[in-house]
Structure 1
Amino acid sequence: MKRLAALVALAREGTVSAAATALGCGQPTVSHHLRRLEEETGAVLVQHVGRGVRLTPDGARLAARGEEILGLLRRAEAELDTMTTLAAGHVRLAAFPSACSTIVPRLLSTLADTAPGLTFDIVEVEPPEAAALLRSGQVDVAITFAYSGQHFDDDVTVEHLGWDALHLVEPSRSVGGTIAEGRASGEREATGLRPEELRRFSDDRWIAGCERCRTGLLDLCASVGIEPDIGFASDDVVAVQALVAAGFGVTLLSALALAGHRNPGVVTHSVVGAGRELHVATYGAPPRPAAVEEVVQTLLGLSWIA
């Protein structure tokens, strides 16, 4: 780049002396760079005319390209500088549905104050798909969750964000069948259901969520000796709550899912000790690009314990 800059300066200034002044160096240095550039390219770039020099046609063509190359380099340096100082930057973020409606808005609101130059692409996917997008380089950061026994491969770095408690969700009034209002008392509403109290719902139909959440439901029920009769399954928490409100069954939903949408026709009871761990995930090991690191640290600095 220094040799190319010497040639461009000579083309612009007209003399070696003026080129040296423009570059802030001595004439011998400019002459050295020009000689080395000729050796490396195998072309005659400069002709000596009396006490002066002029560019050959090859030299003029290379100087014109050199102007473009050095301009692109300056542009790249400026763009990189703005990204590393967070004056600008673009982050591709993946998050599961209930995080998109709860965590992501709070994250962006915080970053609007601390790093207003950042822009985002946001994609809504479940954790396994988010991990695949991280590996393929299609996203930079993912907000994920995992139930006990679930984990990611070692190439994905996960850091703890908080705990997302599980709640039993049942109709708010009796609608027939085995579901009856008041099976979980007001006291249980305040203190939460013990896991073994889920046996009260062993004869009910259950509504399951996504495959990852269904595993959490089955494991929790198995731990207290229940084999749930799953009559419906849906990834849509709005639809799941509507089914519960209509008396088609009971379900387990996380606090984040209920914070994103709460059907007035249901009542909820937290299940003591039951929940899923929230994570922020990136691909590979740190260090991370400045914009990505800012997003990760902002997430880690906020409380997501639900």
Structure 2
Amino acid sequence: MSLNLERLRVLDAVAATGSVAGAAAALHVTTSAVSQQLARLERETGQELTERHGRVLRLTPAGALLAGHAAELLAHAERVEASLAEHRGAVAGPLRVAAFATAARGLLPPVLRELRGRHPALEPALAEMEPHEALPLLRRGELDVAVVQDWAADPLAVGDGLARRDLLDDRFDVAVPAEHWAAARADIAVAELAGEAWIGWSRGQICHDWLLGTLRGIGAEPRVAHTASEHSTQLALVAAGLGIAVLPRLGCDVVPPGVRLVPIAPAAVRRVFAVWRATTSSRPAIRAALTALEQAAAQLRAAEGRAEATRGRATAAGLDAA
């Protein structure tokens, strides 16, 4: 019996998604192509691998057994491919990267510029998506690297088979109108603002959940007047005096007139890190991407340190003047 890797990949996708349609979407092929590959695999093994229960397609015991081995074989094949790429030493070919919105705006542009300039044969492509969208695609091999975020109190479950590298800690500030009573503060606790009208993120975004959870954790029911996914939209609403917002410093480098950013105390910090399949760690393209990400993150950390020093001097000068 000879097993075809591509057909095993189809079975693995069916096992992961639970349906022919899901496997077809994951593999970017038609449902007919998936069904044909499954039928050929059944002929090669001489066993039924799937069975229908109404409209639901399930793996038979033989199918589940083979699907488990398929995942192992595909991972081994990926390690072999990575080893060959490492031996060749060329940083080339497609590199599919995903990042959540603020990282896509505030971190990835210099990374992609560096990769394009240093490795002309590399073909990096960025897709903006939230961590809960990126991780399943990464595990299925549809992405190569994902830049994700979490909070120390609510860690992201990365799971087995994925490696991670910390990039930076991203602090949050409160954005208030310039005439707001908190605009002159050196820092402020979220609890002091509990009764304010908030401008929040769209439902389902990590920062939306953090804001609601933080306020409810101190016994306050959030009064969210407006929601927007884009920081620029949130800042425009703040500038118009329609509410206040909490915003990460990453990707928030342009603040419109009439808005003040006040640091949160104690500091509200999210962790930003890169994840990739451990089986691809030796690929030169993965190494190049991680190096570029670390360099860009180091530059952001240095810029943040300079900004903190400037804020500290401004605060000291204000206290002296008072």
Output the TM-score relative to the length of structure 2. 0.59
Aligned residues of 2:91 and 2:284 also touching (Cα < 8 A): no
Structure 1 residue 136: deviation in Å?
2.5
Structure 1 residue 111: deviation in Å?
2.6
- SS of equivalent residue, structure 1 residue 257: coil
The equivalent of 1:48 in structure 2 is none
Pairing of 1:221-232 with structure 2 (within 5 A)? 221-232=215-226
The reply to whether residue 183 of structure 1 matches residue 182 of structure 2 is: yes
Structure 1 residue 84: deviation in Å?
4.1
Aligned residues of 2:149 and 2:156 also touching (Cα < 8 A): no
Report the aligned-residue RMSD.
2.6
The equivalent of 1:94 in structure 2 is 98
Structure 1 residue 231: deviation in Å?
2.1
The equivalent of 2:156 in structure 1 is 151
Q: 1:215 aligns with which of 209, 229, 237?
A: 209
- SS of equivalent residue, structure 1 residue 98: helix
The reply to whether residue 271 of structure 1 matches residue 276 of structure 2 is: no
Aligned residues of 2:130 and 2:148 also touching (Cα < 8 A): yes
The equivalent of 1:168 in structure 2 is 174
- SS of equivalent residue, structure 1 residue 150: coil
What one-letter code is carried by the residue in structure 1 that aligns with 2:192? R
Query: Structure 1: 5+ residue runs without aligned partners?
Result: 1-76, 174-180
Give CA-to-partner distance per residue, 1:265-289, whole Å, 9 cap, x none.
3211121321200010113455342
Aligned residues of 1:83 and 1:291 also touching (Cα < 8 A): no
- In 2: Cα distance, 1:206 partner to 1:280 partner: 31
Structure 1 residue 160: deviation in Å?
0.9
Sequence identity percentage:
26
Pairing of 1:48-59 with structure 2 (within 5 A)? none
Structure 1 residue 85: deviation in Å?
2.2
Structure 1 residue 241: deviation in Å?
1.5
1:84/1:143 Cα in 2 relative to 1: closer, same or farther (>3 Å)?
farther
**Which deviates further from its counterpart, 91-100 or 214-223?**
214-223
- SS of equivalent residue, structure 1 residue 263: coil
The reply to whether residue 248 of structure 1 matches residue 254 of structure 2 is: no
1:270/1:112 Cα in 2 relative to 1: closer, same or farther (>3 Å)?
same
- In 2: Cα distance, 1:153 partner to 1:88 partner: 27
What one-letter code is carried by the residue in structure 1 that aligns with 2:229? D
Alignment length, in residue pairs?
Answer: 213
What one-letter code is carried by the residue in structure 1 that aligns with 2:166? H
User: Which structure has the larger Rg?
Assistant: 1
Aligned residues of 2:176 and 2:183 also touching (Cα < 8 A): no
The equivalent of 2:73 in structure 1 is none
Query: Structure 2: 5+ residue runs without aligned partners?
Result: 1-80, 305-322
**Which deviates further from its counterpart, 85-94 or 127-136?**
85-94
Output the TM-score relative to the length of structure 1. 0.62
Structure 1 residue 114: deviation in Å?
3.6
1:165/1:81 Cα in 2 relative to 1: closer, same or farther (>3 Å)?
closer
What one-letter code is carried by the residue in structure 2 that aligns with 1:153? V
Aligned residues of 1:82 and 1:88 also touching (Cα < 8 A): no
